[in-house]
Structure 1
């Protein structure tokens, strides 16, 4: 089958209308889009996609789906490049959010460590003060015991 096209740089009608981006699957009429090769003098051996109905009836310059393969693949590459860009941006956003979360967790951990150190220091101070009090009581008892012994030694 040959599809007549005037100029090799001519944009296919589907792209010009902006209906199909990338590789077409079905025509607006519901028929499958099939790959064919041009036998025209202007575009020899150039591959294109065409509506199966239009190809069977040998329709040309109609409103059925028609697109050059190179244009379809270029559209697909551009579409995928855009999607890759969006995915890269979402990855960057995710990393930023993850880093922010990690910094917040680090800050919370440091605050908890500081609070724990303060609490331990306060408890240790209480224990030390209690021990000092017991040592003072014991010292007072020892001094009183010594005085009592000195007094008893003089009395006896």
Structure 2
């Protein structure tokens, strides 16, 4: 099939690439139901001259026509991709906001815990410092009394 005209490339699929079991392939088809990759080709039919399409590599290599292997116009596949992204974008933005809120809360909780720990450590150090100063003053007073 490699760029050659076929009955399939001359007909419109209405935006859908069909698989053997009749399922619709949305977006850019990557693999055919047979397991082979898809390849981009160009129609040379009178009805769709120079229109690009995806075709199962096996069907293209064997120059199959009117078969169940993947065929999809590239422009229609790209429109499907954009529509899918338009549908997914608000949902992904919501998930991102939820994750951001969760991260913000966790970060705030950790900062508060660290501040509380630091505050506790500071109090202990101040007590140790005060006790140390009192001890030093006491020793100095004893030394002064001895002299």
What's the TM-score bracket when you normalise by the shorter of the two chains?
0.5 to 0.7
SS for the counterpart of 1:111 is helix
Change (3 A) 1:104 1:12: closer
Aligned partner of 1:56 in structure 2 is: 63
**Which one has a larger percent helix, Structure 1 or Structure 2?**
1
Would you identify which runs of 4 or more consecutive aligned residues in structure 1 move more than 3 Å? 29-34, 76-98, 123-136
5 Å matches for 1:139-154?
A: none
In structure 2, the gaps of 5 or more residues are: none
The answer to whether the 8 A contact 1:37-1:47 is kept is yes
**Are 2:43 and 1:37 aligned?**
yes
Give the aligned length.
Answer: 135
Q: Secondary structure at the match of 1:63?
A: coil
TM-score, scaled to structure 2: 0.57
Residues in 1 aligned to 2:35 and 2:132: alpha-carbon distance in whole angstroms: 87
Q: Distance in 2 between matches of 1:30 and 1:97?
A: 42
**Aligned pairs (5 A) from 1:65-104:** 65-79=70-84, 92-104=97-109
What's 2:14 paired with?
A: 10
How far is 1:110 from its partner? 1.9
Q: Check conservation: 2:17, 2:25, Cα contact below 8 A.
A: no
Q: What TM-score, normalized to structure 1?
A: 0.55
> How far, CA to CA, are the matches of 1:20 and 1:9 in structure 2?
11
Report the counterpart of residue 151 of structure 1 in structure 2: none
